[in-house]
Amino acid sequence: MEMIKFVLVGAGSAQFGCDMLGDIFSTKSLEGSHITLLDINPNALKKVYDYVKEFIEANKLNFTVDATTDRKEAFKNAEFIISSIEVGDRFQLWDEDWKIPMQYGIHQVYGENGGPGGVFHSLRIIPPILDIVKDAMDICPNAYIFNFSNPMTAICTAVKRVYPNARFIGMCHEIGWLHKWLPKILRMNYDSLDIKAGGLNHFSCLLEIKDKKSGKDLYPDVLKNAHGYFEHEVGYSDLLKYAKANNAFSKTESFDHSIEEKLKGEFIWADRRLLKVILEKYKLLPITVDSHFGEYIGWAWDVVDHRGILDFYELYRTVLSKAEPKIELRVKERASSIIDGIVTNESYVEEAVNILNDGLIEDLPSWIAVEVPAEISKDGVKGVKLNNVPKGYLSLLRNYVSVYDLTAEAAIHHKKEYAIQAILANPVVNVCKNIEEMVDRMIDSQKPYLDYLK
């Protein structure tokens, strides 16, 4: 097999770069590959590169690695590009995304990917990602590009609008909640379950679940047993309290969730009070928690676990501030499994990717990026059509689709007018009078990233 070339964009991040490298190093079909680490921060890049080079040598791994800040040089002969970038000071900008709209009377559950905060986050990050994809299309047009940046739906929708032929795939971790929840809810091994989940990123639900062996529909059992499981499940407030009391913040890229087994949930329906409403009113199980699912629903503010969301934010911020390079030789992210399937042609169904809809969910526009399962093979990533998506859930999805349309248009055409309209179309916004002033204030506060909007 010829040598495969990977490029990790944003490799200076201790969390992202080392997680992806551990995955690649643990995938047998990828042995002998060359990996180029790419980042705009030379100091962070050198720190990760030195650690990776030493790790390869110490573990006698059959991989080669180099590092550069030159994107065009990095992309030469690339076959797989894996990207996770942010712009500016992530948490300072996120605080502004949350607090400035609040000053203008807009309540947001989280302010990262939905609501006005999600619009501004999208408008900051879409332009540099479009630049990345442009270089890829010019230099290595057949390369697969895996995106881990948020806001996922906004990014994927905008990229495919500008570069319809790009092999651009959005990847998200949230499907992993089902791996934790379903075995406990059903008292069954996850491998014995046949599931389909989908919708929009951070706004997806479990749509079908069957016993692989018998074909029995297990959704009635999920709805019957979910309340008993979630009511006293450990939440982020419990984890933060434990971490502070025991100085248990991880010094690597993630928090040690194994301590959850030792704790008892102090708060009813922690992190999942909106999930409870969706279970009861829509008869569906979201694949994520309140902080994510609640960003796209106007009335979510009234029901979500605000304590849990604030505590998660503090926990997340603290953990990332302690991140140091650390590679573990085990697969954590699903991109390496997809690449393995493409390289070996060992076909399988991936549970969740973000790709252009184009009829995969019939009642949503063809141009929106949707989160769906996908068939993986040497032919690439082919979305699985989701039939009979419940109309009540579709109504929630459709309420947000126009926001993504206008956000993409604002980023692509540099039009402040579209940004204002995206916010006015947003289900979480119920004010109008000072929206243009708010947008001007955000542009002024985040001038290096938003001043292109005219």
- Annotation-wise, does 172 bind a ligand? yes
pLDDT of residue 258: 67
pLDDT of residue 143: 99
- Helix then strand then coil, % of the chain, to nearest 5: 50, 15, 35
pLDDT in tens, 161-184: 999 999 999 999 999 999 999 999
pLDDT of residue 254: 43
Considering the entire predicted model, what is its pTM?
0.96
pLDDT of residue 256: 54
First to last CA, the chain: 50
Assess whether 173 carries a catalytic annotation: yes
pLDDT at 261 over 80: no
Query: Would you say 121 and 60 are in contact if contact means Cβ atoms under 8 Å apart?
Result: no
Mean pLDDT of 7-27: 91
Q: What is the DSSP letter of 357?
A: -
Residues 6+ apart with CB under 8 A from 199: 205, 361, 370, 371, 389, 393, 397
| Closest C-alpha to 286, from 198, 221, 394 | 198
pLDDT in tens, 103-124: 999 999 999 999 999 999 999 9
pLDDT of residue 251: 38
The beta-carbon contacts of 364-367 under 8 Å, at least 24 apart in sequence, are: 364/394, 364/397, 364/398, 364/401, 365/401, 365/405, 367/157, 367/160, 367/161, 367/405
Residue 255 confidence class, pLDDT cut points 50, 70, 90: very low
pLDDT in tens, 195-249: 999 999 999 999 999 999 999 999 999 999 999 999 999 999 999 998 888 876 6
Residue of 107, 173, 257, 414 with catalytic role: 173
Summary mean pLDDT of the chain? 95
- Annotation-wise, does 150 bind a ligand? yes
Question: Where do the structural domains in the chain lie, given as residue ranges?
Answer: 176-321
pLDDT of residue 253: 35
**SS3 sequence, 197-220?**
EEEECCEEEEEEEEECCCCCECHH
Q: Which two tokens stand for residue 136?
A: 């890829």
